Amino acid sequence: MTENIVADSSFFCCCETDIRKREVLLLLMSKYDFFIGNKLQNEIPNSLLIDEVFVHSIYVKEEDFFELIRPFFKRSKKHEDDGEYEAIGIAYHLNEHYNLKFLILDDSVAYKFVKANFKDLSNKLTRTIGFIKNCCYIDKSLSPETTLKLLLEMKKAFETYETIISDRKVRPCSLDRKIYSAILIPLITQLQDDNKNGRI
């Protein structure tokens, strides 16, 4: 059975620009079917959009799936074009009519929006780190070694980000101090321990 994934642009930006692991992104795109829309396409790095493997591996939905979630939308009109809400609309459509495996959202406002309004989507909802963990522990689509490298690159990117003094800096992989401390670091420790003791 085809396993469909809808991801916000933060997932693609994380792999392509934040930790520079395009090869892992393309590997994942060979294991799952990824869907985006036109708004999300505009938020994805151009370097991916000119990559032939990426272009041939992604499914672009042309319809305006935001209309499916409009009745629940309470944010200002300027947020209607945010890619994460297009992602939610596409995920809603796939979940109703096809097989949706995951909706990957790192934006906390959009994440809470799904939790509050779409019960059927809530159990498909994850963040980039949660998806990577699932790929290693459940689906076995990423090896423990590759997963650990990804997580360590995310750790390094966030630690570098914290040393930058600028109002214009952008959080790598949408990490903040809470996610770094409560989720990323414990997962790295768990993975190192499980790999060392042969549990995965």
6: left (phi over 0), alpha (psi -120 to 50) or beta: beta
Strand intervals (E) in 62-122:
100-104
Give the pLDDT score at 179. 94
The pLDDT value given to residue 140: 96
pLDDT at 20: 95
pLDDT tier, 144 (very low <50, low <70, confident <90, very high otherwise):
very high
CB neighbour list of residue 188: distance below 8 Å, 6 or more residues apart: 148, 151, 152, 155
Which of these ranges, 33-37, 54-58, 77-81, has the smallest mean pLDDT?
77-81
Band of pLDDT at residue 188, cut at 50, 70 and 90:
very high
Question: pLDDT by residue (tens digit) across 70-96?
Answer: 666 666 566 666 778 889 989 988 988
Between CA 157 and CA 155 the distance in angstroms is 6
pLDDT band of residue 69 (cuts 50, 70, 90) is low
Higher pLDDT, 66 or 28: 28
Count CB neighbours of 183 within 10 A: 15
The answer for residues whose C-beta is within 8 angstroms of residue 127's C-beta and 6 or more apart is 104, 105, 106, 111, 174, 179
- Residue 164 binned pLDDT confidence (cut-offs 50, 70, 90): confident
pLDDT at 99 over 90: no
pLDDT band at 129 (very low <50, low <70, confident <90, very high): very high
What pLDDT score does 168 carry? 67
How large is the angle between the packed helices 185-196 and 144-163, nearest 10 degrees?
A: 150
Q: Phi first, then psi: what are they for 62, rounded to 5°?
A: -85, -20
Question: Which is it for the CA torsion 68, 70, 72, 73, positive or negative?
Answer: positive
**% of the chain with per-residue pLDDT over 90:** 64
Q: What is the pLDDT of residue 136?
A: 96
Domain boundaries, the chain: 4-130, 131-196
Least confident of 97-101, 118-122, 165-169: 165-169
pTM metric for this prediction: 0.91
Level-2 CATH architecture, domain 4-130: 3-Layer(aba) Sandwich (3.40)
Side-chain-side CA neighbours of 121 within 13 Å: the count stands at 26
